[in-house]
Structure 1
Amino acid sequence: MRLALSDWARSDGVTWVFIGKALITAFTALWLAYRLELPQPNTVLVSAFIVLQPQSGQVLAKSFYRILGTLLGLGVMVALIALFAQERVLFLLCLALWVGLCTAGAARYRDFRAYACLLAGYTAVMIGIPATLHPEGAFMQALWRVLEISLGILCTGVVSAVVLPQTSSAALRSALDTRFGDFAGLASAGLAGNLDAERFEQASARIAAEAVGLESLRNVTVFEDPHMRLRSGRLARLNSEFMQLTTRFHALQRLLDRLRQRKAAAVLEALMPCLLEVSELLAGWHGRPLRDADAACLAAQLDDCKRQLAPRIRQARALLAQSCPREGDQLDFATAAELLYRFAGDLHDYAQTHASLATDRHEREQWKERFTPKANALAAAVAGFRCALLVLAGGTFWIATSWPSGATFALTSVLIAALSSASPNPRRLSLQLTLGTLLGASLGFVLTFRVLPHLDGFPLLCCALAPVFALGAFLITRPQWNGYGVGLLVWFCIASLPANVARYDAYHFINEYLAMLLSMGMAVIAAIVILPPNRPWLWERLEGELRMRVVHTISDPLPGLSSGFESGTRDLLNQAYGLSAGRPDVQRRLLRWTFLVQEIGLAIIELRREQAALPAEPRYAERMPWRRAIRAMGRALIRLFAHPGETNRLRALGAVEHAIHATRNTPEPHPPHFDTSPLRRVCSYLHFIRTSLLDPQSPLRERT
């Protein structure tokens, strides 16, 4: 019974707790709105439901950005009313421009900052459109809206933090603890040669999504937990180091796969003892949560492993040189050995950073690099244009018809377009919001005209509203039904919630819901017709953005380049993967481009680091032939990834081979080991780029 209750508490129990907290929040906010005699109690409840989230940190973050967006929208709208209150056409044009800019900003950021952008646009419309009818009271209406929104936010934050809180910091620690155990099993299987391609691809997509999600969680916990705030730099560093070690493993795994496809038995046989040493170490951590004390133990194990790995690699290289002296095999071995040794080093750095979380202050907190998300500018502009067009269409229809509910029509179209702009499938979300609103209209009609007239007192009102609110909260907890829940709760509160003085007017009620449903239908049509994001035009642009990440690794400044490359590549993949849901062929092609970009981008970054750290000796000078050959290779790679094609691939391949030849023919007095010879390390990275360009399964070959 105890185990069953524990399982229930972690699954369905979380849902029921959320529903209970939603009811407490709604009725507390509604009672205060009635008690304080606020003009629009429905605004208080709408704010409470929009901010409501399962985790208290998400509530606080969303509340903070909602207040910022509300104040910004308030300031803009007061200025617009002061300038254009007498001219509705100019007012609507400026309003459409402002809302379009805000929606484009929301599509650009795609996190809680996006929510601030949405609220800046939505608040301007919510205050501005009714204020055009009575501009003399616009300023007082704006103040009332701010008070109502603030009350809803306050109620939600207090209930979320006090009543059975589900903290974001706990979710973050759980994600950190379990993430490494899953990756350890994946890496152990890959190094031992037991990782199939399908599992590798699925894991790569999941790891990219986890990296983006972990960064969002880290930003949320800053608002909630002071202990996590003290560790914010280390958490950012931990996520960056995890992305780097997964990229290193991916590069090593791809190289090993190519060696197995070529049946390079001698190289694989020489490498196997080194691979198994790291694989067996990671196998012991498969499925285990990595807590702070465990991370310190893992760091000690990896430190011993690194000390033993270097002489073992030298010994294996000597044996390979005797049994198979071919230059190509020697380069393959050197490149794989370099990647393996660096992979062990990345694991060691990650374990040390994880172990440092045990203390409040640590030197590893000093981390300047940050997660750098990437968004497609054209997609953001299209979302803003779509929303601005809906504002103009709704406002024009309102002016032309003088419909009493025209303000609701225009306001709802903005809300729908703004909420759906950040969705990968705006048509689906708009349709869900419409159906949820239709359900709210049906329930609202029955409650307003058949139930509420027979009730007396606030407790009975709560009993009548509780089933509707509970149903909406339940739908919100299910990702596939979230739109239905938002549509039900938000528009039920807007049109069906009784004000301080109840109004039983069926004509007004039907007009309001008719305006909402018509504007939602218009938003659905706009989402279908005006460049929906889950279509090939955006997939291809995101694919182009992925390829350009290689160009940035060649041309951008070196400080912060690695973190920006890792985070930007994963964010683009995560976006593209979500937008192409239901199209496994598109997802597979995007994954293959991501693999190629990560491989070559990592090698270029390491090449640039090696060149930046070279000693001031004549053989390493900028004018040396091998340095000039590497620069020529960079220009050829820029042409290749900007314009993929067989001609550019062959040109880039020739440039890489020339750089390898020039590097190998440059004399160096240091011992020929990768831990002492910079040119040997440079040569291994050049050879890795060469193997990527020669890969028969590369998407560059598909372009041919």
Structure 2
Amino acid sequence: MIPGGVQLSHVVFSLRTFAAAMLAYWIALSCGLSNPYWAAGTVYIIANPLSGAVTSKAVYRLGGTVIGAAMIVLLVPALSAAPVLLSAAIALWCGLCLFVSLLDRSPRAYVFMLGGYTVSLTGFTLVTDPASSFAVSVSRVEEIAIGILCAALLGRLILPQRAGPILATRVKGWLDNAARLSRAVLDGESDSAAARAERHRLAADAVALRAVTAQVGHEGPSARRLGERMEALQHRMVMVLPLLSELGDLRAARGTAPEPPQLALVRDWLAAPESEALAGADALQARLNAPADPGTWNGLLDQRLLARLSDLVALWTDCRLLRADIASGEVHALRRRLSARYRRASDLHTDYGMALLSALALVIVMGLGCTFWIWSGWSYAAGAVQMASILCSVLATIDNAVPVMKKVLGLMLLALALAFAYQFAILPMLDGFLPVAAALGLVLIPCGVLLAVPATWLTGFQISVNLIYMLTLKDQLSTNFDAFANAGLASLGGLILAMLTMAAMRSIGAERGARRLLRAGWDAVIEAATGPRRADPERIAARMLDRLGLAVPRLAALPATSALHSSDILRDLRVGQEVLALRQARDALPEAARQAATAVLTALATQYRTRRSGTPADPAALLPPLDQALRLLHATPGAPARSGRDALVGLRGALCPGAAPPDLPAPDHRRTA
């Protein structure tokens, strides 16, 4: 089941996790807690090969549990006499917590999600005994805290695995691939479709790398500094991608014209050893900043090509310095500046519509489950509501969770069969803690190996966690078949209810998910063109690159005939950046040039609105206003006109890369010098 086979690190992780779970179970038993299996289950819920990930999830799980426990004490005693009101209050609270958690794409989101479904897990069991709400809530916090402490302690003491080496390896691979793509683009040897696919893949890898970086800061003070450097490095890494997109277009637009000698210098610089490249960066920048003649269209293209090459050299210099910082542990002023400018959560894409729909689906599934519970009088139906609330919360980030739920159904049935065998055949023959722990290890240790590998994580997680909670191990073994069967049926019923509700309300295909991300990028361009305020170019770039990284897996799942394959968020990003530059220059232009620039912005916003509505748009329709504005600004002296003209050249290249050169008047060099 494990790609590449079982490794020693997988076995060490599994043994460490099992030891932590059994230690937590023993401590909870010794302390006389009512549900000691919660301590053992918590260990497997937060288990992760990376010690920082365990710490972060442990902290956030404890915080979410405390918030949930506080809400239980607040809601259950007050509303226990009115089951309908209590059910509505818990459902609305869970929906609110899920909505907030989906707006936060950092590990911190786990606090809000857990704060919601903790109320569902514990609150419904207290309806018949509201007076014990405080005692049960405190006990639940204690059980989970014991599991957290055991997992964190053993994770730090027994062969801990740090994120630093993993990040260093993945960053080196990313930069090597990006350098190879950069050289191919500058050579003009990369096919446009293949180059676009490679840029998209690099964007997706950068987004995936952010998830590992987010865990680094929980490994200690030195690791937090590493995390800051990694965030700064990733910020520069992703900015390379739109540059490569434009450089490829500029290279193609020049056709058979002789290439500037600086192009070969940059190619050689990219291939040079790191120390040699850093030493020669300033001299290369001086060559790239040499004045060019912008009197013709090819001259304008050369001027822009040299500017983008200068930007590429600056970005690669930053990347190499930051990577050297990470390897050596030194800190340069560059890292401090970039870390201060980097915006974390505010730069990430947020889909309020899907967050609201997910929260609404959770409220509805809990409402349906509670309605059946109250109507039927079946006390175990509360378990169905609990299971449904967990699944709808945990799987809310997946476009179509139904296939995952089908797999979970099979794994839950397997866990139920294992729990039945343990509870009624194996455990009754055992006496004492150590024999019980040894018997549990026959299943939990192999499951821990599966947990260590992303490809098999779901299998290991579902079997291990479900087995622990289905057994409900306490100080005395229960052999009540009716209770076991009813609890198992309730869990299966909750899963089926969640599956049906999610299929009806929340499941969207890969094409719809990708289209939502593309539309969000188009909205950003429209806002940049027509919005009342000047947006931050770096913020727009970070958000659109994040959307690209999220869209790539969805685009990969589409059939080859899908029209979305022709979409290129990097081009849209370039359009947004040039729109902002044009708007900044427009205010200082003469009246005629200012009106021409405004006409370009209006036509561009109209075209993007057309694309957003689903109607095909012809980019060639933008050529007349673009070329008219370009002719006016080409003949207008002054720095604002030069900036606006450069932005129009960038817009023309991004929107109409294959268009014929415009007819430009000869500028008055005495006026523009």
TM-based fold match above 0.5: yes
- Shifted more, 545-554 versus 62-71: the winner is 545-554
1:289-688 matches, within 5 Å, as: 294=274, 297-311=276-290, 314=292, 327-357=296-326, 358=328, 361-364=331-334, 365-366=336-337, 367-371=340-344, 372-554=347-529, 561-580=536-555, 582-585=557-560, 589=564, 592-607=567-582, 611=585, 621=588, 623-644=590-611, 649=619, 652-668=622-638, 679-688=641-650
- Shifted more, 452-461 versus 571-580: the winner is 571-580
Label 1:543 to 1:656 Cα distance change in 2 as closer, same or farther (>3 A): same
- Shifted more, 146-155 versus 401-410: the winner is 401-410
Give the distance between the partners of 1:228 and 1:678, measured in 2 at CA. 45
2:58 pairs with 1:63: yes
SS at match of 1:643: helix
- Shifted more, 471-480 versus 43-52: the winner is 471-480
Residue type at the aligned position of 1:128? G
Aligned to 1:79: 74
1:100 touches 1:387 (CA, 8 Å); kept in 2?
yes
Deviations 1:374-428 (Å, cap 9, x if unpaired)? 1221111111111111111111111111213112111111111111112343112
Residue type at the aligned position of 1:370? R
2:41 touches 2:465 (CA, 8 Å); kept in 1?
yes
Deviations 1:521-562 (Å, cap 9, x if unpaired)? 122222222230335443332221121222344467999823
Deviation, 1:203, is 2.2
Give the distance between the partners of 2:315 and 2:591, measured in 1 at CA. 31
2:654 pairs with 1:692: yes
1:436 touches 1:484 (CA, 8 Å); kept in 2?
yes
1:62 touches 1:115 (CA, 8 Å); kept in 2?
yes
Deviations 1:177-197 (Å, cap 9, x if unpaired)? 332222111111211122234
SS at match of 1:270: coil
Aligned to 1:277: 265
Aligned to 2:16: 21
Give the distance between the partners of 2:28 and 2:561, measured in 1 at CA. 50
- Shifted more, 623-632 versus 400-409: the winner is 623-632
- Shifted more, 86-95 versus 482-491: the winner is 482-491
Segments of structure 2 that go 5 or more residues without pairing to the other structure are 660-673
Label 1:87 to 1:152 Cα distance change in 2 as closer, same or farther (>3 A): same
Give the distance between the partners of 1:335 and 1:48, measured in 2 at CA. 56
Give the distance between the partners of 1:85 and 1:114, measured in 2 at CA. 29
Deviation, 1:477, is 3.2
Label 1:556 to 1:471 Cα distance change in 2 as closer, same or farther (>3 A): farther
1:106 touches 1:422 (CA, 8 Å); kept in 2?
no
SS at match of 1:498: coil
Label 1:475 to 1:359 Cα distance change in 2 as closer, same or farther (>3 A): closer
SS at match of 1:222: helix
- Shifted more, 146-155 versus 194-203: the winner is 194-203
1:535 touches 1:580 (CA, 8 Å); kept in 2?
yes
State the identity as a percent: 23
Q: Normalising by structure 2, report the TM-score.
A: 0.89
Deviation, 1:142, is 0.6
2:87 touches 2:370 (CA, 8 Å); kept in 1?
yes
> In angstroms, what is the RMSD of aligned CA positions?
2.8
Aligned to 1:674: none
1:32-47 matches, within 5 Å, as: 32-47=27-42
1:600 touches 1:689 (CA, 8 Å); kept in 2?
yes
Label 1:501 to 1:361 Cα distance change in 2 as closer, same or farther (>3 A): same
Deviation, 1:15, is 1.9
1:373 touches 1:571 (CA, 8 Å); kept in 2?
yes
Q: Normalising by structure 1, report the TM-score.
A: 0.85
Give the distance between the partners of 1:426 and 1:106, measured in 2 at CA. 17
Deviations 1:318-356 (Å, cap 9, x if unpaired)? xxx9xxx8x333333333233223222322333344445
Aligned to 1:289: none
2:515 touches 2:564 (CA, 8 Å); kept in 1?
no
Residue type at the aligned position of 1:36? C
Segments of structure 1 that go 5 or more residues without pairing to the other structure are 1-6, 286-293, 613-619, 669-676, 698-704
Give the distance between the partners of 2:616 and 2:384, measured in 1 at CA. 54
1:338 touches 1:681 (CA, 8 Å); kept in 2?
no
Give the distance between the partners of 1:442 and 1:646, measured in 2 at CA. 54
Count of residues paired in the alignment: 648
SS at match of 1:583: coil
SS at match of 1:501: coil
SS at match of 2:478: coil
Label 1:520 to 1:536 Cα distance change in 2 as closer, same or farther (>3 A): same
SS at match of 2:567: helix
2:256 aligned residue (265, 281, 286): 265
Residue type at the aligned position of 2:422? L
Residue type at the aligned position of 2:320? A
Give the distance between the partners of 2:240 and 2:454, measured in 1 at CA. 31
Label 1:354 to 1:474 Cα distance change in 2 as closer, same or farther (>3 A): closer
Deviation, 1:59, is 0.9
Aligned to 2:669: none
Give the distance between the partners of 1:591 and 1:99, measured in 2 at CA. 40
- Shifted more, 172-181 versus 508-517: the winner is 172-181
Residue type at the aligned position of 1:99? C
1:132 aligned residue (105, 127, 130): 127
1:379 touches 1:538 (CA, 8 Å); kept in 2?
no
1:42 touches 1:499 (CA, 8 Å); kept in 2?
yes
Deviations 1:226-285 (Å, cap 9, x if unpaired)? 1232355443322222222222122211332455xxxx212xx233x3222211221245
2:80 touches 2:130 (CA, 8 Å); kept in 1?
yes
2:179 aligned residue (180, 184, 189): 184
Aligned to 2:154: 159
Label 1:161 to 1:533 Cα distance change in 2 as closer, same or farther (>3 A): farther
Deviation, 1:363, is 2.8
2:102 touches 2:355 (CA, 8 Å); kept in 1?
yes
- Shifted more, 198-207 versus 22-31: the winner is 198-207
Residue type at the aligned position of 1:693? L
Deviation, 1:309, is 3.2
Residue type at the aligned position of 2:319? Y
- Shifted more, 138-147 versus 394-403: the winner is 394-403
1:231 touches 1:361 (CA, 8 Å); kept in 2?
no
Give the distance between the partners of 1:83 and 1:591, measured in 2 at CA. 57
Give the distance between the partners of 1:156 and 1:608, measured in 2 at CA. 54
Deviation, 1:207, is 1.8
1:126-275 matches, within 5 Å, as: 126-230=121-225, 232-259=227-254, 264-266=255-257, 269-271=258-260, 273-275=261-263
- Shifted more, 555-564 versus 508-517: the winner is 555-564
Give the distance between the partners of 2:399 and 2:452, measured in 1 at CA. 19
Label 1:647 to 1:224 Cα distance change in 2 as closer, same or farther (>3 A): closer
SS at match of 1:220: helix
2:33 touches 2:139 (CA, 8 Å); kept in 1?
yes
Aligned to 1:616: none
